[in-house]
Structure 1
């Protein structure tokens, strides 16, 4: 058989401008049926022209350094802070080269959170028609909730909370799970990013869990009212992590076509695409789940104490917020405008460290901060560097020195020194910068009685399992 009568192949289709995909078998079948009727390649190509995909867009070019405004609401007060600030500016400079970005900002708690070009903690990035999963991170909707417990004994509150909450990896055992609303589970099933079996199981098993790292449960007393309050800090746990993974996979597919020069961690999903609309809705479902996760723990403690609770509110700091035509990605940054969500109260929470008060603030919606405020105190150097600087002091000695008079508990029974106050920026400096940069007004302080800290030390049973 000569080339004139050879069958049409995938290589022919690619030469004619078709892109490999699930439509290829049907195109080849039609082409070779026409071939069998004696049609030549030119005529077959013409018959398939109607099935050609639209031309691939020209790859977007990166912004040049300095093209996108960066608003800096942080100052260095010593050499460590200057080194930290230099690294934050360096990584934000790379982030702002991403073609979708229109503005960036850094908060007083800013610190690096990955390789160069990764949005830092305390970073805010505004984009047009783009949702960047890497800019809200795997801990989607990490957030803080407060409940006014009334005039209860703070030790009783901390004891009740310790008996109820769940720290560490994984979820709750099946016989110890907290209920998830059937309506919320239906929202999971209705979204293509959320309807997998692994996701649905995590949504049930991880309800009422707080994870590890810097997540905590804090009991303190309001200076304004004298009433005891409970504050929790954690995010969306397994469901959020799985959504992040799925979002990054979709974003990477778009990156390869739209902007191969963009760093992988800054890939995006076009907001006006079908995938973008589904991902945006998935974020809202995860937000609802996370709020319920906090609320389940708070309500269980209220019921255990038979308390007469007052106000309860919350705010997130690893999320994407839509305002006008732009998407604002806050990585460890909190919206400081009053109606950032339907359940916003105008008040937000900023914890500092376990020995300092949790600030209750009213945001100022400052233009120079893209409308955001810090989410906490941040770090000036890594956990490992903090351990190195401890010298001969043990974690227990540091805990006693830095939290005298407070009831501090770690979920694994061991002190993680990298979560002690000395591992964070000086609380007073962060408060001063919140005031000096006009980011928020403090309306109350929840002074600490004690807290349960997650930390990063594996629980004792893990050590037993891994022994040879």
Structure 2
């Protein structure tokens, strides 16, 4: 059995241990006779736990001194700038105070270069949903968010809208058979996608043990506001990058992200950032990783892996349903949020642009901005507006929190509301009722300078997570 004495400094550096006394201290402790029977893998796992959660080892006489090395030193706490940098707010009267306050705090970070707040903004963790933040050579894990690379994907088919009325039950069955939601539903035979062969699964510690889970969850969707839905695509502009004539089509729209893989990455690197970059309490979730650091480079690679994995999930969803429908899409549109991009600002500065619940809207960039399940979404082309840091909203945005929706809405009213709007819902809950969302038309009215509208998507048959079983409380299967 391999002994811990065979560990070398290079092994600890791969875990993110800093050069110098900390590595020497760890190796010295591992030579203690109490640990002589630990194999190399167990020793490395233990050292990783101490680094990630040092507070749990402060009362352990053997590990106390090593744990202290990873506890943030209050004397090196990073301060905020006293002044709030100016930033553009779209429809300020429409944005809740909590979202505004969170952005104000973000604009005081010493690394901040610019920011913007979209009209669908509401309070979150770190950055608000609908927040855009450009910073200098750093990445903020909670500025990206938990569901890394969450995205919208639309397929447009050469079938008329009345197909939805003629084949309602058939289309509902196709959703049941070819989609999976939440933490427990997976396909018995998941797709073997090239994303699963990426070297990051071997080279980055936090995702090394996540490949099997990522494989089983491929092609599935999360809970909450994630959905797959059939609806009507209405193309209204002849001159469009989709090469579609003006007219009405059957459409398939999906919204989901990077599943458990993205959540694990976000949780791990947020802890790392908070330990390395102690901020005042109101800003603690805005802790960042310098992109010149090992941890910063690791997170950047892991974030891109999660984003590409989210895209692979949507690719599988649309492949399965297109094959089941027996039709090849005429056109596809996909865009993502909850991500960080390397971009050049209007003044020529290089920046890392975080879009947490905000859609990229560079000149000519296509995207989808959904409404609620009873309101249309919009196919858009970005206008490259610099005041918004080439961004737009990622949806209608919530006007009720999930808790408020559950407290204030009744199942009977929601059922009648959906029926009146001709919506077939499979799954879903009160927290995702359409009344919990802002008016998408008002949101779009306040971002006319940010995007051009090429068409719309109106939902008709919607599937969401129901907390198990996929059965709706509102009259669907």
Tell me which interval the TM-score lies in, with the shorter structure as reference length: 0.7 to 0.9
Q: Residue 45 of structure 2 aligns with which residue?
A: none
Aligned mate of 1:381, from 389, 400, 408: 400
SS in 1 for 2:248: coil
Counterpart mapping for 1:94-113 below 5 A: 94-113=105-124
C-alpha displacement of 1:403: 4.6
- State how far apart, in whole Å, the 1-side matches of 2:82 and 2:223 are: 38
Compared CA separation, residues 301 and 59, structure 1 to 2 (3 A): same
Aligned mate of 1:328, from 328, 350, 353: 353
- State how far apart, in whole Å, the 2-side matches of 1:350 and 1:288 are: 20
The answer on whether the counterparts of 1:193 and 1:243 sit within 8 Å (CA) in structure 2 is no
C-alpha displacement of 1:239: 0.6
Counterpart mapping for 1:111-260 below 5 A: 111-114=122-125, 118-151=126-159, 153-154=163-164, 155=168, 156-170=170-184, 172=186, 176-182=188-194, 184-197=196-209, 199-224=210-235, 225-256=247-278
Aligned mate of 1:61, from 79, 101, 104: 79
TM-score, normalised via structure 2 length: 0.75
SS in 2 for 1:434: coil
Q: Deviations over 1:261-315 (max 9, x none)?
A: 7833111111112222222122211111111100101001111111132112211
Q: Residue 89 of structure 2 aligns with which residue?
A: 72
TM-score, normalised via structure 1 length: 0.76
Compared CA separation, residues 95 and 193, structure 1 to 2 (3 A): farther
Q: Residue 23 of structure 1 aligns with which residue?
A: 24
Counterpart mapping for 1:353-392 below 5 A: 353-390=372-409
Q: Deviations over 1:45-78 (max 9, x none)?
A: xxxxxxxxxxx99764311242x222111232xx
Question: Gaps (5+ residues) in structure 1?
Answer: 1-17, 29-55, 339-344, 463-468
- How many aligned positions are there? 387
Aligned mate of 2:430, from 409, 417, 423: 417
- State how far apart, in whole Å, the 1-side matches of 2:25 and 2:398 are: 53
Counterpart mapping for 1:223-372 below 5 A: 223-224=234-235, 225-256=247-278, 263-324=283-344, 325-338=350-363, 346-372=365-391
Q: Residue 406 of structure 1 aligns with which residue?
A: 422
The answer on whether the counterparts of 1:148 and 1:309 sit within 8 Å (CA) in structure 2 is yes
C-alpha displacement of 1:321: 1.1
Aligned mate of 2:441, from 422, 428, 431: 428
Q: Residue 96 of structure 2 aligns with which residue?
A: 85
Compared CA separation, residues 234 and 385, structure 1 to 2 (3 A): same
- State how far apart, in whole Å, the 1-side matches of 2:272 and 2:336 are: 24
The answer on whether the counterparts of 2:362 and 2:382 sit within 8 Å (CA) in structure 1 is yes
The answer on whether the counterparts of 1:222 and 1:228 sit within 8 Å (CA) in structure 2 is yes
SS in 2 for 1:289: helix
Rg bigger for which structure?
1
- State how far apart, in whole Å, the 2-side matches of 1:405 and 1:352 are: 14
SS in 2 for 1:214: coil
SS in 1 for 2:155: strand
The answer on whether the counterparts of 2:231 and 2:251 sit within 8 Å (CA) in structure 1 is yes
The answer on whether the counterparts of 2:418 and 2:424 sit within 8 Å (CA) in structure 1 is no
What is the RMSD of the two structures over their aligned residues, measured on CA atoms?
2.6
* Runs of 4+ off more than 6 Å: 25-28
Compared CA separation, residues 193 and 266, structure 1 to 2 (3 A): farther
- State how far apart, in whole Å, the 2-side matches of 1:323 and 1:158 are: 42
C-alpha displacement of 1:422: 1.0
